[in-house]
A and B are shown apart, each in its own frame.
Chain A
Amino acid sequence: DAGVTQSPTHLIKTRGQHVTLRCSPISGHKSVSWYQQVLGQGPQFIFQYYEKEERGRGNFPDRFSARQFPNYSSELNVNALLLGDSALYLCASSFSAGEYEQYFGPGTRLTVT
């Protein structure tokens, strides 16, 4: 069975640009969460979606937005990129919003120059 998949693997953008990151959850999982991980730190929660509705939002500016599609895949959008947005962006899926166990994808490495 395929695990959580994310695309692209790596991405280089310039300050001020926009980026879209994509995630496909494990088959049967209906909840997707997004995390930002800066080097040397633990993942920081950005959003959680369940059944296409936002169920949680972390302490991130409005430049960050996300959505979930009918097939439960998800997109994370970041506008007006800053140098500080450079990080590993992780997607995690679980069966439901309250599920204890989340399964992470390999991440998208975003570099903003």
Chain B
Amino acid sequence: EDQVTQSPEALRLQEGESSSLNCSYTVSGLRGLFWYRQDPGKGPEFLFTLYSAGEEKEKERLKATLTKKESFLHITAPKPEDSATYLCAVQTSGGSYIPTFGRGTSLIVHP
């Protein structure tokens, strides 16, 4: 069974304090790994797709990386507006396009 585990569950940072969120996965064959940002009471907002180990993608203060067993979302010099829940999801290569989501990491950035 495909499993996606995100850590930590919650993270509090001071503005400017860089950190990383982790997404570890156990799947039969990875087709793609996705990162989303979700604000309270709203739908997830697509951030990145990673396809293969060694791949990296950046967007403003966010950088996503992928290894064979996990992905990291690095947040550099975060601002209060980066506060949100960050979700990781994986899609396997077994013929089904159903993504499996992790439970998310709730990030709060204090000014």
Which A residues fall within an 8 A CB radius of B? 4, 40-45, 48, 55-56, 58, 88, 90, 92, 97-107, 109
Contact = CB atoms under 8 A, between A and B. Distances in A.
B51 to A, nearest CB: 8
B43 A105 contact: yes
B18 to A, nearest CB: 25
A4 to B, nearest CB: 7
Provide the main secondary structure of the chain A interface: loop
Interface in B72-111: 87, 89, 91, 96-104
7 closest A-B pairs by beta carbon, nearest first, are: A42-B101, A104-B43, A104-B44, A100-B32, A100-B49, A45-B98, A107-B43
Contacts of A92: 43
Contacts of B59: none
A34 B96 CA distance: 15
Contact of B97 (A40, A44, A90, A98): A98
A31 B57 CA distance: 26
Given A42-B103, A101-B49, A4 B43 contact: yes
Nearest to B87: A42
Given A42-B104, A43-B101, A98-B97, 11 more contacts: A41-B104, A45-B100, A55-B97, A56-B96, A56-B97, A56-B98, A92-B43, A97-B97, A100-B32, A104-B45, A107-B43
Given A56-B96, A100-B91, A44 B43 contact: no
Most buried by B among A55, A88, A104: A104
A100 B97 CA distance: 8
B25 interface: no
Interface string B19-58: 0000000000001101010000111111001000000000
Nearest to B99: A45
A109 B100 CA distance: 21
